[in-house]
Structure 1
């Protein structure tokens, strides 16, 4: 199993497949750590319930684990940025037990998380990350890396929820000679909870009666995401009208763009071939005329 990870602040990615004892499979690596669930979403009615993560050592060596809390946000490309001053943080609300433990090869451990929000928290969703870190052991090298898996935790407090989002723009080339045609969109979250654009609820660009889905992505509260998709099979020629729409608490936000697809290279090739045929026909005509003139002259002057 591959676990989605958040890494930053000096932590290196440490994700690997679980060990398998089936015949013919590759042996387990020295280090393999998995944490599930990959992310935790806590709804208002579940804030008082203890939440649990499962940590599994799928490697061949024992590993020491330290669990810490961190505030985070994300940039326009979706990269996670750990920042202790990140807005809408729930890092101070989380209480983790245990915070440090050792796992032998093949062992697993449950880690319990309890949420204790302040008496009057701001409405909407708050977030934090739990970092499951395997500190670098002693060694003789000059460089040692901590290995870590990050799991986001989203906590929505009781109260009104605003799911408003806006499309900041739809980008596309004005002219293309063929596919693929790339579309780019900026989605801004102006509500109070994150927005997941997954599967059937994903973002799509409507063009020429078709829907082209963007890859799955999440827009955190108070952030924007830039996403792109390629239209791999546009028609040979068209004036294509594209549109992207998103719907939230404040209604629907849309942006549109127009792309002209014209096979200029084929047109140039057709002109070249037509020109070649024209020159060939002209040459054949002149040659035929010359032969006819020769025959006429011979007929007039047989001697």
Structure 2
């Protein structure tokens, strides 16, 4: 019993207790460090980068416009204002620039990259520094009115020239630079010969459905639209399909095409459900173009255009039934023909057999016709003698 309370045993227990206390203190220190380190991260997550930009009046207040839209003559100069604001929580360097617009591969309205120099409308714009771009330092919540001019060249082509004013903020993130941009569309319609029109360059169709049910198929259409004029146009679209003798097969399917710039193209796909397989299908697409935007002075009457195509949709169930009917009719015709041939052959055989027998009897000296006639005469003679 006394050995249980020896100095060595007491020292061992004391060392073990000290180790447990040190371990607990270390875990507490790690926990406290994690909370302290997480706090700055949470604070950084609250920092935001915000960009606001819109057309404004000379008084510096937004005037309700959603785009810059002008009508001008060659050689004319225009003036306007752009209001830009830092809507974020950090001071930022803003680059305000003018650039050209184009339709991207999907056909959507797009503006050239920040680093690419403009060659059309964007090159007509000048800010206070005499260049097509200007840099501003804005504090959080600060706004700045940016005046600019648009100088239309003397040799500017008639029609719409499209571009935009862009507010750009470039920030480094994870070893890359992120370019955050906010753009406002700009249009200048230069006076001269205005040409309007959208064209459906290509229309193709593909029919699909259950082979056993020819009444509920789907017609998938693909068509390409091109702006062949010199003004920007959007369009409402009507789509349908006819069959033999122009009989309509479906109600019209409505669709829409966003704005296409002059020379722009875009390919669309749509489906027309509930189409029966009549063998011959005549899908069609009708465009009703219009000028998009809130500037009533630029609206024009644009002629509608239509394009159609031919699609073969075989009604396999009907064809199979017709094939079976044709086979049945063909079999009946063949069977009647065979029966008639057999009957004719039997008649020919019986006639030939009768002739053969008659020939054989004549050859043996007994004429059945003479014998029958003599017997008849003898019978008649006997009757006459009895009467006498």
Unmatched runs of 5 consecutive residues or more in structure 2: 1-44, 55-64, 211-215, 242-248, 290-300, 322-388
- d(CA) in 2 for partners of 1:173 and 1:219? 26
Aligned length: 232
8 A contact 1:235–1:261 mirrored in 2: no
**Aligned with 1:149: secondary structure?**
strand
Q: Which moved further from structure 2: 141-150 or 35-44?
A: 35-44
Equivalent residue in structure 2 for 1:255, among 277, 282, 307: 307
- d(CA) in 2 for partners of 1:251 and 1:215? 16
Equivalent residue in structure 2 for 1:206, among 210, 217, 240: 240
Give the direction of change, closer, same or farther, for the CA distance of 1:43–1:228 in structure 2 (3 Å limit): farther
Q: Which moved further from structure 2: 253-262 or 221-230?
A: 253-262
- d(CA) in 1 for partners of 2:105 and 2:168? 26
- d(CA) in 2 for partners of 1:219 and 1:237? 35
The residue number in structure 1 matching 2:344 is none
**Aligned with 2:171: secondary structure?**
coil
8 A contact 1:65–1:100 mirrored in 2: yes
Instruction: State the superposition RMSD in angstroms.
Output: 3.7
8 A contact 2:99–2:111 mirrored in 1: no
Q: Which has more radius of gyration?
A: 2
- d(CA) in 1 for partners of 2:185 and 2:234? 14
Deviation of the 1:240 alpha carbon: 5.3
More helix by share: 2
- d(CA) in 1 for partners of 2:238 and 2:96? 38
8 A contact 1:49–1:114 mirrored in 2: yes
Equivalent residue in structure 2 for 1:220, among 261, 285, 288: 261
8 A contact 2:48–2:90 mirrored in 1: yes
- d(CA) in 2 for partners of 1:76 and 1:118? 29
Where does 1:2-21 land on structure 2 (aligned, <5 Å)?
Answer: none
Deviation of the 1:73 alpha carbon: 2.4
Unmatched runs of 5 consecutive residues or more in structure 1: 1-26, 272-303
Give the direction of change, closer, same or farther, for the CA distance of 1:86–1:66 in structure 2 (3 Å limit): closer
Matched, 1:93 2:124: yes
TM normalised by structure 2 equals: 0.50
The residue number in structure 1 matching 2:70 is 42
Give the direction of change, closer, same or farther, for the CA distance of 1:262–1:55 in structure 2 (3 Å limit): farther
8 A contact 2:205–2:283 mirrored in 1: no
The residue number in structure 2 matching 1:243 is 284
Equivalent residue in structure 1 for 2:203, among 138, 163, 170: 170
Equivalent residue in structure 1 for 2:154, among 119, 123, 132: 119
TM normalised by structure 1 equals: 0.62
- d(CA) in 2 for partners of 1:253 and 1:235? 24
Q: Deviations over 1:75-96 (max 9, x none)?
A: 4422537386887x21221123
Deviation of the 1:110 alpha carbon: 3.2
8 A contact 1:131–1:149 mirrored in 2: yes
Q: Deviations over 1:100-154 (max 9, x none)?
A: 22333333333333211112321111122333111225x7x42222222233322
